[in-house]
Structure 1
Amino acid sequence: MSTRTADARGRSSRSRRIAVLLAAFAFGSVLVSCSTDSGGSSVSLPTAPNASNFTGSAPSALASAASSIIGSARASASAAASSAAAAASAFEASVSADTARASAAAEKELKDVQGSGNATSEVAMTGLPRAETGGLLAVLVTITNKTDQQASYAVQIDFKDSDGKVVETRYVGAENLDPGKRAQPIAISRQPSEPQLTARLTKAQRY
C-alpha cells in the first residue's frame, strides 16, 4: 500500500468522524434550545389540538336545535292565536249580553222601513281600536234622542268590502230613551280581519 493511499483513507475516516460529531452537536443544540431555564428562551413544538377547546355542534345536533326552535316558535304562535281568539270571544260575549234583545227588536222594527229611516241625524258611529276588541272590527254607535219625547231607536249597520258589496249586516238599538239622553250600543262584525271591511250606517228609525 502506498503512502498516498493511506493518507487518503485517513482523511476520509477523519471526515466521517467529524461529520458524525457535527451532527451530534447539532442535534444536542436543538434539544437544548427546546428546554427552558430562567435565563434562556424557549421554542414551542407543535402539539395536537385539544378537542375540548373547540365550540359548535355537529350537523345532527344543529338540526335538532333548529327543529326545537321552530317547534317553540310554532307553539308560541299557536298560544298567541288562542289568546287572541279568547279575547275576541270574551269581548263579543260581554257586548252581546247587553244588546241581544235590543238587536232583535231593532231588526224586527226595520224590516218594513223604506229608505234610510227617520233618525239618521240622531245616530253617529266611531270605530273602536282592535286592541280593545280582541282584534274584531267593531263600531260604537251613539244614539241621541233629540226629540222632546221618550223614544226607541232601531239602527242597521252594513259592513262592506272595498267593492262596496255588503258582506255582513248588524242591528243595534235603544229602547225607551228619554229626551236629550243617549245610548251607545256596539255593532261587531264576525268576519275575518282580511279583507278589511268598512262600517256604514244604512238605516236608523225612531219609533
Structure 2
Amino acid sequence: MARHGRRDTALGVGAVVAAAAVLCGCSGNGGTPSGNTSRAASAAASAAASLASQAASALASATAEAGRRFDEIKGGTDAGGDVRTGTTSSDAEGRSAAELTVTNPTKQTRTYAVQADFRDSGGNLLDTVVVMVDDVAAGASKNATALSHRKLSGHVTVDVARAVRY
C-alpha cells in the first residue's frame, strides 16, 4: 500500500507543478518560461513535496504507535470478527470519524483494542488509529468512534486492520 501512496503523491506533486506553470504563464520571449514562472513552479513543487513528506511521516508515526499499543497487550485473542464499522463522516475540524460496534460473544466482560485504518477510494492507507473499548459486557455490544489524527480529504473509508479482546 505504501508504494501506491508514494506514486500517487508523486503524481500529485507533478500536477501541482504543472498547474503552477500554467497559472503563472510564460513571458513574451518565444514561449520560454519567465524567471517568475520558474520560481513559482519551484516553490509549488517544494510546498507539495513538504506536505507529502509531512503526511508520510505522520502515517509512519501512527502505524508505529499502533504496533506499540498492540505489543503491550498480553494474552489477547484475535477478535476481528467482533467489530463492525459503520458510516464515516467528518468532525468539526475536518478529521474523519467512523462508527465502530464491538460485540462481545464471551461469558465475561472484556476490553478490546481495535486498529482502524482510514483509506482513500483507491485503497491507499491515509491514517491508522487504535481505539480502546473498555468493559464490553458479556454477550453485549458497545459503540466507539475511530477518529483520524488529521484532516483527510476525498472519499474516506475505514476498515478494521486488527482487533484484540482481552
TM-score w.r.t. length of structure 2: 0.49
Report which of the two structures shows the higher radius of gyration computed on alpha carbons.
1
Pick 1 or 2: higher relative contact order, CA cutoff 8 A, min separation 6: 2
| Structure with the higher helix share, 1 or 2 | 1
| Structure with the higher strand share, 1 or 2 | 2
